[in-house]
Chain A
Amino acid sequence: MNRFNQTIAQPAQSALAVNKVIKNTYMLLSATLLFSGVMAMVSMFFAMPPMAYLISVIGAMLLGMFVLPRTANSSAGLGVIFLITGMLGFGLGAILTLYLQLPHGPQTIATALGGTGVIFLGLSGYALTSKRDFSFMGGFVFAGMLVMMVAIVANIFLSLPFLSLAISAGVMLLMSAYILFQTSQMINGGETNYIYATYSLYMAIFNIFISLLQILGVFGGDD
């Protein structure tokens, strides 16, 4: 009887833990996106120069690499994730200020924002409801990220418009695949830390938005 109870109880506990991770992740993701939006508005209010974007991204990347792994298992991780997303939002504000000065800037920003929302909700909904395990995409996603990063480093110095557009398209596709992978990881118990899960999904959304903004800017004749 005891053994029977254990076999029933273990999957139930596991399902509860998975649901908790998913619920906490989406709640924290909503809060960080909201905070990021507020910080973007602050940055736009003060009309920060484009340099602010680079400084914010560098700071956020360093925090993500060196501070978040040490704090993700404690409540301090919450402060760090808000610091990272706040910095990225602040940097984003500087880019949005630039776009707002262009003829179709507000329309481009609104379309990129709406498009990012639709892509994220669509992919997350698909991963949550399809019952498929997309963990097999891990190798493809991480290898793709490495290739993209090498291309980004090269283009920092080459500044080729075509390469820049190709990187945006590649990053968009990779981040879309990453949303499927990460959501699947949460569902199947591969990711049990909601702070890490939030960070991953936030970075995917941020990169999709920036890439979409650039693609729409170029094809809309704003770049």
Chain B
Amino acid sequence: MDNIWLQIAMAVTIGMMIFFLFPRAMHWMKNGPKAGQGDWMAAVIPLVAVVAFVILLVMMV
């Protein structure tokens, strides 16, 4: 990323994205449904599988 103006444009665009996403994030954190028993475990298992799969891919390349 050599072009400083492009870097600034990218930073400004992501800044706008943060501005857009912030109310949505706050809404989900305050009003989103809470996890029941076993819900986090059910979500963590596939995510750990993704990490293991990426490690496998790294070892293959």
Residues of chain A having any CB pair with chain B under 8 Å: 50-51, 54-55, 57-58, 61-62, 65, 104, 107-108, 111-112, 115, 118-119, 122-123, 126, 130, 132-139, 141-143, 145-146, 149-150, 152-153, 156-157, 159, 172-173, 176-177, 180, 212, 215-216, 219-220
Contact = CB atoms under 8 A, between A and B. Distances in A.
Interface of B: 1, 3, 6-7, 9-11, 13-18, 20-22, 24-25, 28-30, 32-36, 39, 42-43, 46-47, 49-51, 53-54, 57-58, 60-61
A150 B18 contact: yes
A79 B11 CA distance: 27
Most buried by A among B1, B15, B51: B1
B11 A176 contact: no
A156 B11 CA distance: 7
Contacts of A149: 14, 17-18, 21
Contact of B1 (A153, A156, A220): A156
B61 A153 contact: no
Contact of B57 (A115, A143, A153): A115
Contacts of A173: 47, 50-51
A176 B7 contact: no
A157 to B, nearest CB: 7
Interface of B (DSSP majority class):
helix
Most buried by A among B11, B29, B46, B60: B46
Contacts, number: 124
B32 A51 contact: no
A89 B2 CA distance: 22
A115 B21 contact: no
A51 B13 contact: no
A54 B6 CA distance: 7
Contact of B58 (A133, A139, A157, A220): A220
Most buried by A among B29, B47, B51, B60: B47
Contacts of A133: 33, 39
A152 B17 CA distance: 12
A157 B61 contact: no
Given A118-B53, A132-B42, 12 more contacts: A54-B1, A54-B6, A58-B6, A107-B61, A119-B53, A123-B46, A130-B42, A136-B35, A146-B25, A152-B14, A159-B1, A180-B46
